[in-house]
Structure 1
């Protein structure tokens, strides 16, 4: 079995039976905020040809750094077989169908699916409230000789689920940050720095726990971090370690593993191949070891060069953000109030009002009464400040998941009175009838188990 990094969570898996491309991401995501790190826009023509002509395509979940719709539209044949996680809804299937894909292989959660000639896959689905109703998934690929676990961002509730299919040879997993917390919060910088460091430690601890449990022959740090090339966000890159950032790179994670006696992790960049057999593990970079280390050893220089190469694209992209002003209040009332009416348990769990503030408009989400009204100095527990063009775009797009469409961009500021409230963010991830129905069911289950049906 050969697995090649194609950047971030992207993997090209080649076995004697077939090839599987996982989560190919090439174009900047989340309102032009996230870029692949190290960069994957300079892969060889031979590798790109293999990526663009797989036997199977696997998309783990709907976040834009995994589901790159613009790239898939133009680069993958639409007759390619798509391995579908068994999510509670068919949103992912509908989105891929809209792109033109027609050949879907439906799977059962956690159960092996035979693809032919001894090649099997098992997709494990997670739909915790933290993932939003869209869910997340991990895939286990076995070719009869070797076994690969591609965990990407997925956080299995059953920590042993990924090992039930047999011993694991390769384990690809996330270890770095993938959220906007705490950087966007309106708090003293010293407090945010402390929170960021605690977040990094918790990320490392969780990932090291997975590594220990899966106990693979080789560990491949992946699925992050992104880098931020817009100058407005450049400070989110972790270069010296003193930044307000939750995005350490894989060299730091490898050091943590080595400190506890685990030397199985391998540095990888886009184009790095890992070939594994029962008797050998061979890692090959697409360039010299020195050049492969450069994105990490000389990170600021590397990022500035990368930034310069994409500056024109970024400028043109931001110029397309809407400048016209519409009646946001009316649109949100028409869109959200029917959804709020569906979710009394979710509203109660949120436990307070929310001020939605933009350049020249302020709206109040009255969760108690299920209304969106003009802000008139009502007491609020949460506040979001979003620039008018980005709020206009998100509303015009009728984005059903604001974490994917807005929050992960880190292009906003937030404030809260008290602790983090997962139900608030699940509201913003559930802005369709289908999603809100599931969000309300989850809120009922979580807050009043005896009343769940």
Structure 2
């Protein structure tokens, strides 16, 4: 088995009888309305990938993990004229990805359930799915001839890794996201000190998740992939140069891993687009000529931005006030339609203010309790969430050129919240499409209906807790203890304070922690006793 890195989260995996192209993001216009660009640049690999997918004599698969445009690149896929390969995707509640490929015209489309295998001569592919809230993603396992590659990309299945390894045996090559991919704190109006502290916390949490995953999987090699992207729009370029943010380079992760794993690290590779790894050797056998290093990265980014100037020049346009007024009206109607479909609206205690930069005195105030959207002249609530964007960016959502999550990932807005607490229900309202809101709310209620309890030990005490995280249902038996009191969710690293009833201070969610009897038997406990490893 050989693995060619295609940049970002993209791989070409080749076995004796099969070829798998995974998440090829190759278009020169980037993703999320050109806010994200591949780093390092990889556009030069498009002809190579096109030729392999169209003309290889082996059985060919195109795997797309999820619909985020840094993984699903419809512009590149449209350049493929010969489509006699098999598309492999997850079967998610939201059918947008499936619908797009049904219209695409590939020879065969396989929409996999969780843990479904797709066989090929000498081996198989296997998908692991997450589908909760706005989080729809899949991970890929490729097994062939006693060798294996486990590619998590952005998929947060850290609570399932022990079972995967137990079922599938040793993993030779492993990769998982190590860089941020969210708009917090990047788009929030924090002081410089607050911004740095939030970024450090998120970075440390992401690095720790990778370290724990490596401890469980124990691969022979780890490939740093699925981030970071770079930001070449002149209005976003400053993000690349910040000394502390949520987009670290692999060298920073590797320094952490060498210290955190105390010398028990697998072989660590920061691949460049075009590098090839031989899985038998667990080593690179071919290297691309272009290399980005800590020493040349600043100049590299400036040169890259200069090459992409045309992309950003073409997306600019001026608007007449009448058009801005129409966009404002359409946005108000869109928000009202969202409210009408949002059955969990009464859970959001604070109003949401949305405004257009061009109309500072005409804010849209979304009152979730009364299910109304009103026009107001100013923010009048001490407790509130606020989002301000330009009409030119918002209209692309209203015209369905972007979905809401694509827009939020474009980073082309400013936000603030008071109090500074994450509200998952409000977040889901913002990020979801109208047609997905009812199913999203039903999924939230399904997660909350999971009442199984388990017992954990922390600080010399035992606690009975809800086994499944209230956020997206992660199995907390795969979590760990920090500081002798916090049970940490293995997916998103939420910290539940056990002595304080299991409340997460960052968002107010609770796992209903109660003291458990020293004998380990508790009337409210059905799960096993879980002795968590101490935080390192």
Could you say whether these structures have the same fold, taking a TM-score greater than 0.5 normalized by the shorter chain as the test? yes
Matches of 1:42 and 1:375, distance apart in 2: 50
Within the candidate set 128, 132, 135, 1:128 is matched to 132
* Greater helix share, structure number: 1
Q: Residue 285 of structure 1: CA displacement?
A: 4.1
CA 1:387–1:44 in 2, change beyond 3 Å: closer, same or farther? closer
Alignment of 1:7-406 (within 5 A): 7-27=7-27, 28-43=30-45, 46=48, 49-50=51-52, 53=55, 55-75=60-80, 77-101=82-106, 103-115=108-120, 117-129=121-133, 132=134, 135-156=136-157, 157-163=159-165, 164-238=167-241, 243-259=243-259, 260=261, 261=263, 262-277=265-280, 280-287=281-288, 291-292=290-291, 294-319=292-317, 324-345=323-344, 347-358=345-356, 359-360=358-359, 361-377=362-378, 378-379=380-381, 381-397=384-400, 399=402, 401-404=403-406, 406=407
Matches of 1:45 and 1:25, distance apart in 2: 13
Q: Residue 162 of structure 1: CA displacement?
A: 3.5
User: Secondary structure of 1:325's match?
Assistant: helix
Deviates more, 1:421-430 or 1:384-393: 421-430
2:5 maps to which residue? 5
Number of corresponding residues: 435
User: Secondary structure of 1:245's match?
Assistant: coil
Matches of 2:390 and 2:337, distance apart in 1: 25
Point out where structure 2 has 5 or more consecutive residues left out of the alignment. Answer: 452-536
For residues 175-233 of structure 1, the C-alpha deviation after alignment (integer angstroms, 9 at most, x for no partner) is: 01111111211121111111111111111111111122111111101010001112221
Point out where structure 1 has 5 or more consecutive residues left out of the alignment. Answer: none
Q: Residue 329 of structure 1: CA displacement?
A: 4.6
For residues 142-165 of structure 1, the C-alpha deviation after alignment (integer angstroms, 9 at most, x for no partner) is: 113211111100001423244222
Backbone CA RMSD of aligned residues? 2.5
Matches of 2:297 and 2:213, distance apart in 1: 28
Matches of 2:99 and 2:164, distance apart in 1: 27
User: Secondary structure of 1:71's match?
Assistant: helix
Q: Is the 8 A contact 1:150 1:172 kept in 2?
A: yes
Deviates more, 1:192-201 or 1:326-335: 326-335
Matches of 2:36 and 2:206, distance apart in 1: 19
For residues 303-330 of structure 1, the C-alpha deviation after alignment (integer angstroms, 9 at most, x for no partner) is: 1111111112221233499994352354
User: Secondary structure of 1:63's match?
Assistant: coil
User: Secondary structure of 1:13's match?
Assistant: strand
Matches of 1:391 and 1:45, distance apart in 2: 34
Matches of 1:9 and 1:322, distance apart in 2: 40
Q: Which has the larger radius of gyration?
A: 2
Q: Is the 8 A contact 1:176 1:246 kept in 2?
A: yes
Q: Residue 138 of structure 1: CA displacement?
A: 0.2
Matches of 1:7 and 1:273, distance apart in 2: 12
User: Secondary structure of 2:347's match?
Assistant: helix
Matches of 1:161 and 1:282, distance apart in 2: 27
Matches of 2:429 and 2:202, distance apart in 1: 23
Matches of 2:307 and 2:329, distance apart in 1: 41
